[in-house]
Amino acid sequence: MSSTRRALKLLVATAAFLLAGQAAISAADASRTVTVAPSAPSTGNCFPFGASYWTPYFGFVYKNLPPFQLKAGDTLAFDTGEPSSDADAEMQIDLASTTANGDDTPALPYTAVVRNTQTPANPRGDSTAGNFELRYTLEAPFSFPGGGLIILFSNPSATYAMNGTNCEGALVHADGSDPSGYFLERFYNESDGVPPYDNPDPASIGGFQLTIADPPVPPSHKKCKKKKHKRAAQSSKKKKCKKKKRSRTA
């Protein structure tokens, strides 16, 4: 074989190895995104990420959502069109499905997925609408069957609780008549987080985005090992047979 042919074979083998490596990395890092965004978005309203006087509870209620399975480490993100200059949006976030699609009654209990000790990515928002930059990392799993969902906010951190009446941080939101069909209502200054809600309002309902990492599938080597063992056993048997034949001939 000429040196030129050897070099070409080596290049082909190296390229195949690199392509296989890229495919493995893509599979390991695979994730899917669930985006609940307004078809007709508006920008405004500082609740709950630009001021803290919505306490003790604040909530967004949605309908017609697809099912999803969340794990610790997945991401829940919101979108602002104007940053807040006062404090990082640190608060507790709970999730609950509703008892029926299109109603606002939570299927209790709520699941706490973010604690108020967590500082989200881009914790004061930004001025770019549509990028879902305010990103919380989930700290607990949550299984959602589809239909109605409530995102409940409460217990702001001591620092964020100081962000009193200075209303900044414009939320990208929709109202209940949005053509997407995802938005039902919000409530604020709610006493206990369950209906009948104080101050229900079919307006200023924030969109959200989920980034859900696919669980890695570990490669299985058991079959390969068995095959290797079988091949090794067969080859050893052949060697023994050859030795026996030689001894008889001798």
Instruction: Summarize the confidence of residues 33-42 as an average pLDDT.
Output: 97
Does position 102 have pLDDT exceeding 80, yes or no?
yes
56 or 218, higher pLDDT: 56
Give the domain ranges of the chain. Answer: 31-213, 221-250
pLDDT of residue 234: 52
What is the chain's mean pLDDT, rounded?
Answer: 83
Counting residues of the chain whose pLDDT is more than 70, the rounded percentage is 74
Does position 71 have pLDDT exceeding 60, yes or no?
yes
pTM of the predicted structure, to 2 decimals: 0.77
pLDDT of residue 85: 85
Cα–Cα distance between 204 and 44 in angstroms, integer? 8
Provide DSSP, 70-121: E-TT-EEEE-BSS--SS-----EEEEEEBSSTT---B-SSPEEEE-TTPPPB
Cα–Cα distance between 239 and 158 in angstroms, integer? 77
List, in sequence order, every residue forming a beta bridge with 189; answer none if it has no partner.
Answer: none
pLDDT of residue 231: 52
Question: Which of the four pLDDT bands, split at 50, 70 and 90, describes residue 54?
Answer: very high
Q: Which of 7-21, 26-40, 179-193 has the highest mean pLDDT?
A: 179-193
Does position 154 have pLDDT exceeding 70, yes or no?
yes
> Among 82-86, 149-153, 219-223, 239-243, which is the least confidently predicted range?
239-243
Cα–Cα distance between 27 and 19 in angstroms, integer? 13
Counting residues of the chain whose pLDDT is more than 90, the rounded percentage is 68
Omega before 48 within 30 of 0, i.e. cis? yes
pLDDT of residue 163: 85
Measured distance between the N- and C-terminal CA atoms of the chain, rounded to whole angstroms? 40
Tens of pLDDT along 160-194?
Answer: 999 877 888 899 999 999 999 999 999 999 999 99
> Among 10-24, 52-66, 125-139, 215-229, which is the least confidently predicted range?
10-24
Instruction: Summarize the confidence of residues 210-218 as an average pLDDT.
Output: 84
pLDDT of residue 162: 92
HSE on the CB side for 96, CA within 13 Å?
A: 20
List, in sequence order, every residue forming a beta bridge with 80; answer none if it has no partner.
Answer: 171
Question: Which of the four pLDDT bands, split at 50, 70 and 90, describes residue 90?
Answer: very high
Cα–Cα distance between 175 and 27 in angstroms, integer? 38
> Is residue 63 within 8 Å of 184, Cβ to Cβ?
yes
pLDDT of residue 86: 86
pLDDT of residue 25: 27
Question: Which of the four pLDDT bands, split at 50, 70 and 90, describes residue 11?
Answer: very low
Q: Which of these, 111, 125, 144, lies nearest to 206 by C-alpha position?
A: 125
Tens of pLDDT along 111-144?
Answer: 999 999 999 999 999 999 999 999 999 999 999 9
